Amino acid sequence: MPRTDEQEILRRLELISQIKPSPESTARAMERVRRVFVSMSEKKEISNQIKIVRIWGSIMKTKMLRFAAAAVIIIGILFGLHQFGVRIDGTAVVWADVMEQIYNARTVTYRETIKTEDNPPTTVEEMVMEPGHIRTTFNNSISITDLALNRDLQLYPNEKKATITQRIGMKQRKQPFNYLNWVTKLKDRTGQFTRQQVLDGQAVDVFLFQQEYEKTTVWVDPKTNLPVRVEREIIPNPDKEIISPEMALRSDDFEEVKEGEMIITKGISFYGGGGMVKKMIMVISDFVWDANLDPSLFSIEPPPDYAVEQEQLDVSNPDEQGLIEVLALWSEMSDGFFPSAIKDLVDPNMVKPILVEKFAKGGNPVDELELAMPVLNKILKALVFAQQQRIYGEWGYAGDGIRLGETNEPICWWKSDDTGTYRVIYGDLSIGDSSEIPQQK
């Protein structure tokens, strides 16, 4: 054995510092901790946290576009099952069992129907394989998502086209993202066993989870402790100034599309919590838990005979810098004027002309649409940021009639609950702090 001088000790320490447990072991350890949280949830309420879920989808259509907007929403709503969480009251033990069963499931398939005010009901078929692989079939298109890689593959079999979207700006998880692992994301919601019921000839337990902007009912098979049906109602914020940040652009917004040519529609929709959404009801049914699914169904490699497009989508958190960039863009495209109201950022009658003016240069309409989408993303994110401030703190906007460069004019300001000062953006797009609500000159 070597003499244990300092160098020898350091060499051994170096060896130790290089040891890494296997991914399987880490996954097992994480699972055990999650079970701790499940059991603890029986005893304690878990406080809520502002959680922004970003939703994005793109579909390609012919001139039959009436489903386009709905599709954008649907793709977002597919994350519904993942989002609902509970607080356990008197029925803690029973619901904890359900959560554990869900967590233990490695695959699930189900059908999800979305009803919104503006669109006819739409149904998608979904398959989930852990860790974090999702396959959605909707209207002759297939969407495959790998949550660990932050990557989506959209397939259009009729056209033999594929789009790979890499989501950027979000922290790469060190562990595989488990789609069904919402147990660890428990939120401050009251949940209670309401009744037993017969559903499709089967005795089920019914649980109700209700919070400010959401009501979820879960029908559970008591034999398996697994959900057989979920209904989730999303309720908009009663504040009429809080609106759903979503918009779709079409390639023919930019250039004329000849008869018989494809019109591409792409949309972005955010679900920012706090009722920042249109009213909708989702019904999730036809669950098959732990089905034997072929892993190749979740491959994010496009078929070899498909034409492939690659794109990126910035899904970083909305922040004040993003708001400043959007105000700068707006003023640049509007003779120096800022938006007259912050909700102009989601008004297609105002946003589309700005994007068309900036990107329609007589080229390929699809290319121009592609260039415009990241900017639309920024604009909607700026709105999400502003609305978050309004929902969770204080927000004021006074940009109407102000032009870029009016140094001392406050454009907007906000204050979070936990800070004593207002952040203020001025007419020259500088940003500062103020102990009181800024006054316009």
> What is 412-435 written as a DSSP string?
EEEEETT-SSEEEEEETS-EEEES
Binding string, 60-99, against another protein, x = CB under 8 A?
----------------------------------------
Exactly one of 13, 50, 93, 297 binds another protein (CB under 8 A); that residue is 13
Stretch that binds another protein, among 29-37, 50-58, 260-268, 328-336 (CB under 8 A): 29-37
Question: Does 172 interact with another protein (rule: CB under 8 A)?
Answer: no
Of the ranges 40-48, 297-305, 342-350, 388-396, which one interacts with another protein (CB under 8 A)? 40-48
Instruction: Count residues near another protein (CB under 8 A).
Output: 39
Q: What is the rounded (10 degree) CA torsion for 317, 318, 322, 326?
A: 140
CB of 188 to another protein, least distance (A): 9
Which one of 186, 248, 386, 404 is in contact with another protein (CB under 8 A)?
A: 186
SS3 string of 318-334?
A: CCHHHHHHHHHHHHHHC
**Interacting residue with another protein among 66, 174, 223, 258 (CB under 8 A):** 174
Rounded Cα gap, residues 423 and 435, in angstroms? 9
Structure tokens at 327: 């105000």
Separation CA 49–CA 187 (nearest Å): 7
d(C-alpha 219, C-alpha 196), whole Å: 9
184 binds another protein (CB under 8 A): yes
Nearer to another protein, 33 or 93 (CB): 33
Binding of another protein by 16 (CB under 8 A): yes
Among 9, 93, 288, 437, binds another protein (CB under 8 A): 9
Q: By CB under 8 A, tell whether 37 contacts another protein.
A: yes
Among 21, 90, 401, 405, binds another protein (CB under 8 A): 21
Tokens of 378: 């920024």
Cβ-proximal residues to 222 (8 Å cutoff; 6+ apart), any chain: 203, 204, 205
Question: Taking CB under 8 A as the rule, does residue 25 contact another protein?
Answer: yes
Six token digits for residue 113: 């129907």
Q: Is 224 in the site for another protein (CB under 8 A)?
A: no
Does position 155 interact with another protein (CB under 8 A)? The reply is no
Write the CA distances from 3 to 7, 9, 15, integer angstroms.
9, 9, 17
CA 46 to CA 29: how far, in whole Å?
22
Query: Exactly one of 109, 137, 175, 217 binds another protein (CB under 8 A); which one?
Result: 175
Q: What is the total residue count of the chain? A: 441
Question: Which residue bears the tokens 């039959």?
Answer: 64
Nearer to another protein, 47 or 292 (CB): 47
**Rounded distance, CA 58 to CA 72, Å?**
7
- Determine contact, residues 124/286, Cβ cutoff 8 Å: no
Considering only 38, 42, 45, 122, the residue that binds another protein (CB under 8 A) is 45
Sole binder of another protein in the list 1, 64, 172, 260 (CB under 8 A): 1
Residue 36 binds another protein, judged by CB under 8 A: yes
Quick check: 32 binds another protein (CB under 8 A)?
A: yes
Kindly tell me which of 175 and 224 has the beta carbon lying closer to another protein: 175
Considering only 42, 47, 64, 415, the residue that binds another protein (CB under 8 A) is: 47
Amino acid symbol at 49: Q
Instruction: Tell me: does residue 435 bind another protein (CB under 8 A).
Output: no
Distance CA 188, CA 48 (A): 5
Instruction: Give me the residues paired with residue 157 across strands.
Output: none
Binding site for another protein (CB under 8 A): 1, 3-6, 9-10, 12-13, 15-22, 25-26, 28-30, 32-33, 35-37, 40-41, 44-47, 49, 174-175, 184-186
